[in-house]
């Protein structure tokens, strides 16, 4: 009996397939190792929660406006990863000509008239908490896109970055992010403690320092504030709600130097001169004991649409004008003190 090569191959095929199937073994799943990994992750979450940290991946919450990515206590200690950084993708459509875009894997050229999905790199925003600037976040606000990282660096003395709602600046947001207290007495921890989070929404986000008395002095921070809800409004509400109107130096009420109480100014008579648009001056009556305040008048609309309606009067030393030294590099005089917010 004669067999063709093709027929012989067909006869041998089942045997070859059987051998291949026989040599493929299922991956054994070690239940003990899986349980150990889960226990380790739960212990890490409990440890971070015990340090005051809160948010997605640490505490039970459905709020994912921002997520904690990693925490480092400073002093060259190991970094603890809380959540994996999320890769944000973007669909890019080229017009009549090819378009080159930058992504996580480098640059990608999109042909004319076609579309492609690119994984974004995301920017990193650095924010300093406390330190030589005093009770401030520096900068006090940032513009961040979805997927961007915000890294808080904590300097002296002991601060937090705690998420809140806009209407209640000094109260923690239920289920929101909290860095916990990151102590750095006299900046002795080097490198300083850091907490990194990833922004997951493009709507405004609000933060404050939960250290006693700090929020009431205007220690607030915002991401993506709007024209309707500004960082200045958020800070003013914090001072009004928790600080009895007392602000920091940049808002025109920084308190006495070195923590001492400033002596009350003596009651004196002052004369205030307003310079109207016509160029001549109008003198108001002297007011006994007035060293600081707001003098109002009839508003006048200028040709460019601006309005002249009030003037702040008083000496710089009495808090009538924001402290120049606290305004930072590139700032300019003329900022409105918090005491004028109600005027």
> What is the domain-level CATH number for residue 127?
2.60.40.420
Helix (H, G, I), strand (E, B) or coil at 283: strand
What local confidence, expressed as pLDDT, does residue 22 receive?
A: 54
Give Cα separations from 253 to 205, 246, 314, 317, 328 (angstroms). 26, 6, 13, 10, 16
Shared-domain flag, residues 145 and 226: yes
Sheet with 162-164: list strands edge to edge. 141-142, 220-223, 205-208, 162-164
Shared-domain flag, residues 133 and 218: yes
Distance CA 306, CA 152 (A): 39
As a whole number of angstroms, the longest Cα–Cα distance in the chain is: 131
Q: Which two tokens stand for residue 300?
A: 């006048």
CB of 140 closer than 8 Å to CB of 152: no
Per the domain annotation, does 259 fall within a domain? no
Shared-domain flag, residues 164 and 308: no
Per the domain annotation, does 237 fall within a domain? yes
Measured in degrees and rounded to the nearest 5, phi and psi for residue 37 equal -65, -45
List the one residue out of 143, 139, 182 whose CA is nearest residue 159. Answer: 182
CB of 216 closer than 8 Å to CB of 242: yes
Per the domain annotation, does 241 fall within a domain? yes
Give Cα separations from 198 to 146, 152, 179 (angstroms). 8, 11, 13
Measured in degrees and rounded to the nearest 5, phi and psi for residue 43 equal -65, -40
What local confidence, expressed as pLDDT, does residue 122 receive?
A: 86
Per the domain annotation, does 153 fall within a domain? yes
The structure's pTM equals 0.59
Per the domain annotation, does 4 fall within a domain? no
For residue 80, the enclosing domain spans 45-86+121-247
Shared-domain flag, residues 67 and 166: yes
CB of 52 closer than 8 Å to CB of 175: no
Shared-domain flag, residues 56 and 165: yes
Helix or strand (DSSP H, E) at 15:
helix 5-23
Per the domain annotation, does 187 fall within a domain? yes
Helix (H, G, I), strand (E, B) or coil at 22: helix
Distance CA 138, CA 157 (A): 15
Predicted confidence pLDDT, tens digits, the chain (343 residues): 555 655 556 666 566 555 555 555 566 666 666 555 555 555 556 667 766 788 877 887 778 899 999 999 999 999 999 999 988 887 878 887 788 876 666 677 878 888 888 777 789 999 999 999 999 999 999 999 999 999 999 999 999 999 999 999 999 999 999 999 999 999 999 999 999 999 999 999 999 999 999 999 999 999 999 999 999 999 999 999 998 654 555 554 444 433 333 344 444 444 444 444 444 444 444 444 444 455 555 566 655 555 555 555 544 444 445 555 555 444 545 555 554 554 3
Distance CA 131, CA 137 (A): 9
- In sequence order, the β-bridge partners of residue 223 are 142, 205
Shared-domain flag, residues 291 and 232: no
Q: Which two tokens stand for residue 243?
A: 């600080």
Shared-domain flag, residues 152 and 294: no
What local confidence, expressed as pLDDT, does residue 287 receive?
A: 43
User: The dihedral of CA 213, 215, 218, 220: what is its sign?
Assistant: positive
Per the domain annotation, does 272 fall within a domain? yes
What local confidence, expressed as pLDDT, does residue 307 receive?
A: 55
Q: Which two tokens stand for residue 288?
A: 């006994």
Number of domains within the chain: 2
What local confidence, expressed as pLDDT, does residue 212 receive?
A: 95
Per the domain annotation, does 219 fall within a domain? yes
CB of 253 closer than 8 Å to CB of 337: yes
Shared-domain flag, residues 225 and 276: no
* Peptide bond before residue 125 is cis, with ω within 30 degrees of 0: no
Shared-domain flag, residues 143 and 206: yes
**Final residue before a domain boundary, out of 190, 216, 247:** 247
Shared-domain flag, residues 272 and 243: no
Shared-domain flag, residues 156 and 297: no
Residues near 282 by beta carbon (within 8 Å), at least 6 away in sequence: 273, 274, 276
CB of 318 closer than 8 Å to CB of 292: yes
Shared-domain flag, residues 59 and 190: yes
Rama region for 233: left / alpha / beta (φ>0; ψ in -120 to 50; rest):
alpha
């Amino acid at each position: 009996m004669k067999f063709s090569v093709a027929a012989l191959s067909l006869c041998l095929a089942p045997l070859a397939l059987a051998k291949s199937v026989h040599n493929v073994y299922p991956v054994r799943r070690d239940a003990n190792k899986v349980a150990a990994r889960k226990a380790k992750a739960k212990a890490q979450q409990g440890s971070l929660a015990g340090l005051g940290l809160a948010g997605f991946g640490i505490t039970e919450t459905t709020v994912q406006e921002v997520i904690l990515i990693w925490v480092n206590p400073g002093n060259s200690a190991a970094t603890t990863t809380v959540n994996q950084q999320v890769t944000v993708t973007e669909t890019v459509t080229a017009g009549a000509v090819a378009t080159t875009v930058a992504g996580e894997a480098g640059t990608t050229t999109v042909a004319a008239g076609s579309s492609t999905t690119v994984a974004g790199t995301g920017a990193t925003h650095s924010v300093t908490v406390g330190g030589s600037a005093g009770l401030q976040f520096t900068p006090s606000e940032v513009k961040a896109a979805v997927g961007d990282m915000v890294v808080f660096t904590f300097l002296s003395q002991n601060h937090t970055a705690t998420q809140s709602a806009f209407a209640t600046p000094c109260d923690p947001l239920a289920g929101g992010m909290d860095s916990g207290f990151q102590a750095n007495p006299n900046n002795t921890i080097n490198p300083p403690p850091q907490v990194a989070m990833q922004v997951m929404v493009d709507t405004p986000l609000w933060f404050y320092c939960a250290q006693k008395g700090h929020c009431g002095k205007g220690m607030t921070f915002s991401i993506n504030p709007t024209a309707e809800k500004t960082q200045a409004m958020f800070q003013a509400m914090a001072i009004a709600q928790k600080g009895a109107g007392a602000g920091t130096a940049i808002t025109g009420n920084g308190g006495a130097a070195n923590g001492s109480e400033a002596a009350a100014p003596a009651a004196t008579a002052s004369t205030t001169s307003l310079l109207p648009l016509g160029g001549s001056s109008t003198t108001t009556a002297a007011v006994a004991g007035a060293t600081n305040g707001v003098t109002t008048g009839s508003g006048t609309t200028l040709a460019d649409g601006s309005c002249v309606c009030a003037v702040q009067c008083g000496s710089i030393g009495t808090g009538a004008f924001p402290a120049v030294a606290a305004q930072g590099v590139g700032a300019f005089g003329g900022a409105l003190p918090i005491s004028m917010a109600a005027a």
